[in-house]
Structure 1
């Protein structure tokens, strides 16, 4: 330690001892601080942009750090800066020849890597663009149209709308143009008048056949609405009673827990026979109705005799058909009664079976929702999807679930919707699912029901159409039952005594619509308050449970237009 430092320390200690008797000012204390001489030995840190050495930040002499260590730090600093300067200013042309090949190889590697990164980046941009285009385009557009906007179909729409309902036509055209539909029809009655009747798109992509007023379409569970009307007419005739046990009409039915099941239970989907698992149903089983009856009556109650709301998606029509055959004086089926008493009288087309090739050639082909998009709906979070999958789809993946057994296991040959493109699939009645019709016929039935079952117009023969149901029967079948959870559909359902459903649909929740929807998106709906009858059918299948953006946007437009007309 230097003598200078020792003297300062001694002076500091002396001043500290005498501070109580002769205090100094703060300034005097600072001037005589023992640290001041050391602080004064530091150079001011340069602020210019000129290059500096690490040693410039060190004091010129630091008595408590060995001089050798100071020199070592300074030397290391100088070496680092010198090395950095050499790297930055290196002239590669001076490399000895023995290293030239290695350097050229490294340079080529860097260039190749740079080129690969550029290609990788460009491919990612292209892939991202393709994903964006695919996810924001309609599921039924050609792939070239979805990705590159090439080969997009032109929109061909025929039919008519009244001026007030042109908004429906605009949405209908958008559905086809944007690839939400392949081919479709929509019809609307308002206040007993046909105000919309449109068809458009393609009925068959393989042949290019257009979807027009002559096109027929399978509407699956929309068939249940007309089936319910047929049962109601038989009740009106005194041939059936909703409160009677089925065994009164079909004694052999009373077995295996089904002894107390009533006709009402069957109509409103709580009869306990939503699925058939005592026998694997095949298409050939439907060709012999007597043999089919034996299969149906031997099926045990699905829930051990306990009344349970479980959508009889496929089986209800088979059971009702057998009951009707037994009570009808001529032993007709539901399809035969429709063909003789309803279709010709009310000037509609509605077939429960297609047995003529001439009719089959008019039926539009069914196109299933693309599997890639179905998988995306399973995997992606709901907030990323415009129409998320309903809980029913999770249940359909479980082979031991009631939903799977009902909707897949009970279908003849476990058929899927596209299997109904085959002629033989349309040959046999299934009054829960086999209806083939068009939107105009659906809308007219809906309009009659919206008009309390009374006729809405004269038939083409100039004869006044009769009531489809009397006032008393209409009021009975429209009686609303308490809401109940359906274990097949995995949602709450409100039914009427006649088996129709009450729905508050997305986008039109302020009004209750009555009727039923079909697999893939078809809708047969009516609203007595607004006097609306709505029919929509299509051949492009979507995944929503009760209507989807195609039909619901049009229905919303219809409701808004009617509300405007009522105000004027």
Structure 2
């Protein structure tokens, strides 16, 4: 007997919108429990099996006051989960023969070869081994100037940490965008739309703030809005961050960093391909669905079979110089160092957002939300509770036959395009 799709008011937990395969009812109860009050934000979860959507749900609020409901087209800033999208853009360029993994970056971006960096390869950059993780004392104005940051990294000297795994928390995106710009003449904001959103036929993939006429609307990140004086930290942090071996602080800190998440979130008004992607869970899961299924999504090839197979890397337990713990990276994607936990690859973002693909089961998922610093202090690890439930539900759905859900959200829209049908779908 065919199973009925769970829907709002008909099987989904109270407050949850969208639809889901009944095998995921336990996952949805856990998901709903993460948003017990309107003032604690909102989020969305999407799951694909064999390239077909089986979960597409959302709940909660997208604003700080808890007054604006999350919708099918609400996007969240996903912090470092953006890195997986930027890496996929590079893989698309490799597939077309514009870039080779083992070639020096300077072969395509001649300015990058300055000051001893001529040997750094594309693969080194993708694997966080270029030695260029630290921000070297830049301020807020410099960080918001993405072209200036690309030039600064191109002119930087070779660092002693070159070749060692060291998480490039912020600089990673500018390294990839400088490389992509050198071979295409286009910035990453445009490439996200052209290479990913257009190819996958979804509006839900943006770098930075979506245009005002876009169906995708950015949620406000929940972050303290009051300015609390911290004179000792403000005095010490820049000095520590400027040291050669300042670890993660040197890779992420710059004066004024918190102000970029306040008010209308200036963080979204630049191109930071390591951190400021604004995406829907659906679009994130859809991209990883292609990577989990031989590079194909909806009969459209995102990546070649050969390249897609090469995205699965061996687990490397070498401690990361900045994170202090093992974190395997292969061609721009993370894999779990814990055997049996989260098989496959993808990328996690600050706060616990995540996009993931598992080629063994042909499954993928995307989880996004707008919480960063709230009373829900376990936000960063909140997905850990969903992961085993998801794994079990995916296995059960594959065994019994997955139940496909309706296609929510807006399809790709280029500049100036509007579609009444798409807008109607997004208002659900």
TM-score by length of 2: 0.78
In structure 2, C-alpha distance between the alignment counterparts of 1:241 and 1:295, rounded to whole Å: 23
Q: Which of 85, 97, 100 is the matching residue for 1:226?
A: 85
Aligned-pair distance for 1:266? 0.8
Q: Which of 340, 344, 354 is the matching residue for 2:198?
A: 344
Aligned-pair distance for 1:440? 0.7
In structure 1, C-alpha distance between the alignment counterparts of 2:165 and 2:397, rounded to whole Å: 40
Counterpart check, 1:282 vs 2:140: yes
Where do residues 82-93 of structure 1 align in structure 2 (5 Å cutoff)?
none
Aligned to 2:306: 472
In structure 2, C-alpha distance between the alignment counterparts of 1:315 and 1:245, rounded to whole Å: 18
Are the structure 2 counterparts of residues 361 and 470 from structure 1 closer, same or farther at C-alpha, using a change threshold of 3 Å? Answer: closer
Contact 1:217–1:437 (CA under 8 A) maintained in structure 2: yes
RMSD of aligned Cα (Å): 3.2
Aligned to 1:500: 333
Higher relative CO (Cα under 8 Å, sequence separation at least 6) belongs to 2
Aligned-pair distance for 1:420? 6.3
Contact 1:183–1:199 (CA under 8 A) maintained in structure 2: yes
Aligned to 1:553: 385
Q: Which of 405, 416, 419 is the matching residue for 2:258?
A: 416
Counterpart check, 1:442 vs 2:284: yes
Aligned to 2:414: none
In structure 1, C-alpha distance between the alignment counterparts of 2:211 and 2:51, rounded to whole Å: 33
Aligned residues: 373
Structure with greater helix share of residues: 1
Q: Aligned to 1:222, what secondary structure does the other structure show?
A: helix
Deviations 1:430-483 (A, max 9, x none): 11111001111111111111112122x3xxxxxxx4211111111233343644
Where do residues 7-26 of structure 1 align in structure 2 (5 Å cutoff)?
none
In structure 1, C-alpha distance between the alignment counterparts of 2:25 and 2:85, rounded to whole Å: 29
Where do residues 48-63 of structure 1 align in structure 2 (5 Å cutoff)?
none
Aligned-pair distance for 1:179? 8.7
In structure 2, C-alpha distance between the alignment counterparts of 1:258 and 1:546, rounded to whole Å: 40
Where do residues 240-319 of structure 1 align in structure 2 (5 Å cutoff)?
240-277=99-136, 280-283=138-141, 286-287=144-145, 289=147, 291-303=148-160, 306-319=162-175
Contact 2:146–2:272 (CA under 8 A) maintained in structure 1: no
Contact 2:80–2:349 (CA under 8 A) maintained in structure 1: yes
Aligned-pair distance for 1:215? 1.2
In structure 2, C-alpha distance between the alignment counterparts of 1:397 and 1:180, rounded to whole Å: 36
Aligned-pair distance for 1:554? 2.2
Contact 1:338–1:350 (CA under 8 A) maintained in structure 2: yes
Contact 1:155–1:201 (CA under 8 A) maintained in structure 2: no
Aligned to 2:358: 527
Flag the structure with larger Rg: 1
Are the structure 2 counterparts of residues 293 and 184 from structure 1 closer, same or farther at C-alpha, using a change threshold of 3 Å? Answer: closer
Where do residues 102-501 of structure 1 align in structure 2 (5 Å cutoff)?
156-177=15-36, 181-206=40-65, 208-277=67-136, 280-283=138-141, 286-287=144-145, 289=147, 291-303=148-160, 306-328=162-184, 331-348=185-202, 349-354=204-209, 356-358=211-213, 362-368=217-223, 399=241, 400=243, 401-409=246-254, 413-416=255-258, 419=261, 422-455=264-297, 457=298, 465-480=299-314, 482-496=316-330, 498-501=331-334
In structure 2, C-alpha distance between the alignment counterparts of 1:322 and 1:546, rounded to whole Å: 35
Aligned-pair distance for 1:532? 1.8
Unmatched segments (≥5 aa) in structure 1: 1-153, 372-394, 458-464
Aligned-pair distance for 1:288? 6.5
Contact 1:517–1:547 (CA under 8 A) maintained in structure 2: no
Aligned to 1:120: none
In structure 1, C-alpha distance between the alignment counterparts of 2:369 and 2:239, rounded to whole Å: 25
Aligned-pair distance for 1:539? 1.0
Contact 1:182–1:203 (CA under 8 A) maintained in structure 2: yes
Contact 1:181–1:538 (CA under 8 A) maintained in structure 2: no
In structure 2, C-alpha distance between the alignment counterparts of 1:270 and 1:318, rounded to whole Å: 15
In structure 2, C-alpha distance between the alignment counterparts of 1:363 and 1:294, rounded to whole Å: 29
Are the structure 2 counterparts of residues 369 and 512 from structure 1 closer, same or farther at C-alpha, using a change threshold of 3 Å? Answer: farther
Deviations 1:128-175 (A, max 9, x none): xxxxxxxxxxxxxxxxxxxxxxxxxx9622111122211121111111
Aligned-pair distance for 1:368? 3.4
In structure 1, C-alpha distance between the alignment counterparts of 2:82 and 2:122, rounded to whole Å: 18
In structure 1, C-alpha distance between the alignment counterparts of 2:44 and 2:304, rounded to whole Å: 30
Deviations 1:473-517 (A, max 9, x none): 112333436442111111102122x21111156xx8355231011
Contact 2:210–2:216 (CA under 8 A) maintained in structure 1: no
Aligned-pair distance for 1:194? 1.0
Deviations 1:390-427 (A, max 9, x none): xxxxx999644221010113xxx541386165354312
Q: Which of 325, 347, 372 is the matching residue for 1:541?
A: 372
Unmatched segments (≥5 aa) in structure 2: 1-12, 227-236, 401-428
Deviations 1:522-549 (A, max 9, x none): 0111111122211101111269999855
Contact 1:156–1:201 (CA under 8 A) maintained in structure 2: yes
In structure 1, C-alpha distance between the alignment counterparts of 2:324 and 2:362, rounded to whole Å: 31
Are the structure 2 counterparts of residues 156 and 397 from structure 1 closer, same or farther at C-alpha, using a change threshold of 3 Å? Answer: farther
Contact 2:292–2:362 (CA under 8 A) maintained in structure 1: yes
In structure 1, C-alpha distance between the alignment counterparts of 2:209 and 2:372, rounded to whole Å: 21
Are the structure 2 counterparts of residues 537 and 466 from structure 1 closer, same or farther at C-alpha, using a change threshold of 3 Å? Answer: same
Aligned-pair distance for 1:361? 8.9
Aligned to 1:513: 344
